[in-house]
Structure 1
Amino acid sequence: MKDTGQLLRIEDLHVDFLTDRGWTNVVEGVSLDVGPGEIVGLVGESGSGKSVTSLSVLRLLPPAYARTPAGHVWYRDRDLIGMPARELRDIRGNEISMIFQEPMTSLNPAFTIGDQIAEVYRRHKGGTRRAAFARAAEMLDLVGIPDAGSRVRDYPHEFSGGMRQRAMIAMALACEPRLLIADEPATALDVTVQAQLVALLARLRDETGCGILFITHDLGLVVELADRVVVMYAGEVVETAAALDLYNAPKHPYTAGLLSAMPQLGVRGKELPVIPGRPPEPWRLPEGCRFGPRCGYTSEECVAAPPALRVAGPGRSSRCCRIEQLHLVGSP
């Protein structure tokens, strides 16, 4: 692949899962990229394929039950999909790090926080245990853990939920990765801790220059943090845009539905809008637009054939065949 200057470039990614019905496609034709110092938000409802896409980047899906029949995941000029496992292990946690959804289940309860961060550092950078433990304390201090030199000897159960999430970020950043994948890092955190987490990731991007793929279902977090947003629905990308452009003027009815369902401060006495229906099951997809059965703007053209992802303006795309006709409302 020609070097485009991007850290991460996913091209036409397809992922299948082995189910009772045989191999079933769950992610189809996903393409996105993340540049140095850029934060890209990946949003959508649960089951839209966000986490599957992120786990496929580092080939963390179980090979017995998941496969990638087509597509490429380029990290700089190297294709991670076809890379030998030994080379990929040298990249995981080193050049590309990942923050997983549940810090309590991702951290080993039998080892201290410092031991777990130090293990990652020694695996990729070498050095003595003392030096690695000092690095662990340094990273905990970087992510805002008070009295990091002492707390580095604590076990995960001695940290609050927000502190465990910070410890996961410290572990992910210990080797100074060029790319950070954050898979719903704010899940189960209260709004105050969420705001702190957003500020922390933005500060780390500014200080280290790393690119971040930020995966979430919370559009409120994305607009505060991301430079660009990629919206997924039923395993496909349905819209891409700069964050503020997407919020001000969405180009796909699904994105508009997500924005309208966001809770608004100061609004009382009105029911919160919802998107009717449910996402389709992967083995029972509509003939035409996958969002068609839930869309209030469906026409004959929408059900005739699956729509392609088309240009919707400078730096924008939408998988809607009526983008020239619709004038969708953004978030207040």
Structure 2
Amino acid sequence: MHRRKEERGAALLTVLLMVAIISVLAATALEKLRLSTRIAGNAAATEQARAYAMAAETLAIVRIDGLLQQATDRVTLAGGWSGHPFSLPLPGGIATARVTDGGNCLNLNGLVTQATPTITTGVAGAAPAVAATTPYVAAPARVAEFARLIRLQGTPGQLAAAIADATADWIDSDAAELPDGAEDGRYADGAQPYRTANTLMADPSELRAVAGVTPAIYASLRPFLCTLPMARPSTLNVDTLLPEQAPLVAMLAPDTVGIGQAQAALVARPPQGFASAGDFWSQGPLATAAAGDAPGRTGVLSRWFALEIDVTVGVGGGSTHLKEHALVDATHLPPRLVSRQWGEDL
């Protein structure tokens, strides 16, 4: 009788242990199911947000096309299109887009030029084959402009020259260092060795990997930089430049025009804009730079546009937010989207 009581007690403990184990397994399975459901929901919301962003892209490109169809001789800020948000109400969400002049910047890829492609001899009797990559070589005048912009933002002259040379070395195809530049050997000795890209930059954030660039220097330069997909400098539109972009004007004048003078010239711009870049550079403080190549680096038309899109899907705590940065090429009409980037600008 006593033994049967012990057996019943052991059986009860066994049952209780099994119930506890099954409860833990069930709770774990339910948690994984909940997590999987949320991940699937987030993925679906993100895809929906991206689809809405693409709809906003299409609307923005139509607006850019309309702007350029109307402005055949010059693009100005008339109409308040630059930076003005326009919304696209959508089922269960909203997309807000902003368009700005995407060419009013220093194109880091303009620090180099495309050299003549290397021709290699193929099989006897066959046509020669062009090398897979087109060499890029540093453009000294554009490198000097970049160094000037860096100095205007408060970086000492020697360091500014070193950063500009190192940036050109980062992009150019050869392994020879510019006077103050840096090639693979400079980066191979670091705690985390890496190599130069030897091709065009895809995003201005790549500058952070260049020798001499500190977080503070990068932050001071970032508002004025872009990476257009071409190995030539961008043409600044003097009719859409904002006063806070005055350093871009000052960098074109070899230490003869200060930021304050450039800013004053932009503020004094007539409402209808300048008829030509020459009219802009004929203003008193800027006339000293008119004899150089500064007027040739500016114009009154815009051919690149930056697009910023914010999308919200859902409401309340369950809403999904998405930010997109895109670049529109309007060098040939109709305009076309050439790149997009999800997430915050770096």
TM-score after normalising by structure 2: 0.24
Greater Rg by CA: 2
What is the TM-score when the length of structure 1 is the normalising length?
Answer: 0.25
Richer in helix (by share):
2
Choose between structure 1 and 2: higher strand proportion.
1
